[in-house]
């Protein structure tokens, strides 16, 4: 298993500003994912961040809005840029081992409110 921490755990931000969310894993992992969960909704994958390559974004998400860094096998950041109230969500990072049987472990999430 993997233990994942996220910072900050929650934040309240003003419209037009940016917030960087950090994700730290206690072991080296190849595959890391960033999700958004809007209030009362399921998880939506933003991007897959594998170390040593550019993040792969899902439809509807772009690098200018959600830049991601993955400098090593234990750490990643997601920035929510030029925020609007529609960005108010829980942002979760997760890690998984390769293969369809690899369990996915989630961080505790970052609760973001944009005013």
Partner 1 sequence: AQKITQTQPGMFVQEKEAVTLDCTYDTSDPSYGLFWYKQPSSGEMIFLIYQGSYDQQNATEGRYSLNFQKARKSANLVISASQLGDSAMYFCAMREGPGNQFYFGTGTSLTVIP
Report the interface residues with partner 1, using CB under 8 A.
31, 33, 41-43, 45, 48, 56, 90, 92, 94, 96, 98-106, 108-109, 111
Comparing CB distances to partner 1, the nearer of 81 and 88 is: 88
Q: How far apart are CA 86 and CA 35, in angstroms?
A: 15
**What is the nearest approach in angstroms of partner 1 to the Cβ of residue 109?**
5
**CB nearer to partner 1: pick between 27 and 82:** 27
Compute the least distance from the CB of residue 16 to partner 1, in Å: 26
Closest to partner 1 by CB, 50 or 69: 50
Residue-by-residue DSSP string for 16-38: T--EEEEEEESS--SEEEEEEE-
Query: Among 41, 44, 23, which Cα is nearest to 32's?
Result: 23
Residue 73: alpha-carbon gap to chain centroid = 15
CB of 106 to partner 1, least distance (A): 4
Q: Of the two residues 3 and 82, which places its CB atom closer to partner 1 in the complex?
A: 3
The Cα–Cα gap between 75 and 87 comes to 23
């Amino acid at each position: 298993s993997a233990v994942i921490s996220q910072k900050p755990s929650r934040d309240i931000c003003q419209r037009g500003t940016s917030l960087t969310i950090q994700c730290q894993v206690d072991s080296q992992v190849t595959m890391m994912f960033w999700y958004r969960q809007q209030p009362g909704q399921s998880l939506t994958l933003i991007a897959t961040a594998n170390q040593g390559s550019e993040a792969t974004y899902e439809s509807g998400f772009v690098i200018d809005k959600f830049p991601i860094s993955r400098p090593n096998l234990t750490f990643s950041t997601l920035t929510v840029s030029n925020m609007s109230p529609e960005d108010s969500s829980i942002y979760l990072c997760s890690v998984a081992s390769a293969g369809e049987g690899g369990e996915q472990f989630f961080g505790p999430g970052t609760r973001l409110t944009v005013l």
